[in-house]
Chain A
């Protein structure tokens, strides 16, 4: 069973640029959630994708967008980067069809630095 993977591991961008982060969900999982974790804080929910459709969104502006592909992998796109976007971006996969827990398994994260 393959776990959740993310790429790239680290990324440095400048203000105003655009970035795409990628996530491969755990085998058998159909749901991907994205979280932003600023230094010293808990993760904040960005949005979730279930079977290629957005299924919930947190308090993030529209310049944060995403996609989910037929193989359930996902991308997070951020346009017009701001300094405050510097954070660890975590992807989590789960199986929405599994009754009960919907336990989410997290990938290793992508550390984004905006200069």
Chain B
């Protein structure tokens, strides 16, 4: 059974600081997704990573994928308050594109 683990579960960081969220998964996969969720809202797609070594950047967020290590990272550069949300990684398996989500990382950026 595929397991997806994120750490940390909760992250409080000051504006302007950098930090990384880690996503480990237990079974080989070549599809890794990052989503953002604001309280009471749905999931917003951030990144789709499809191959080993893939790196994508959007604004202050950068995601990477190492399929050999079964690890993805979401790096936050110079955090701002607007980035406060819960971030989920999700791993896709098979043609059914069933997604298995991580536990989520609740990010709180303080002024």
Contact = CB atoms under 8 A, between A and B. Distances in A.
Contacts, number: 64
Interface string A97-115: 0001111111111000000
A102 B92 contact: yes
Interface string A32-62: 0101000001111100101000011010000
A108 B4 CA distance: 24
Contacts of B99: 33, 35, 43, 45, 92, 104
Contacts of A108: 41-42
A94 interface: yes
On chain A, which size bracket covers the interface? 20 to 34
Contacts of A41: 103-104
B96 A106 contact: no
On chain B, which size bracket covers the interface? 20 to 34
- Name the prevailing secondary structure of the B interface residues: strand
B45 A103 contact: yes
B104 A105 contact: no
Interface string B16-47: 00000000000000010101000001111100
Contacts of B90: 42-43
A43 B101 contact: yes
Given A45-B98, A104-B99, 15 more contacts: A42-B90, A43-B90, A43-B101, A44-B101, A58-B98, A90-B42, A90-B43, A92-B99, A101-B31, A101-B48, A103-B33, A103-B48, A106-B42, A108-B42, A109-B42
Interface of B: 4, 31, 33, 35, 41-45, 48, 50, 88, 90, 92, 94-104
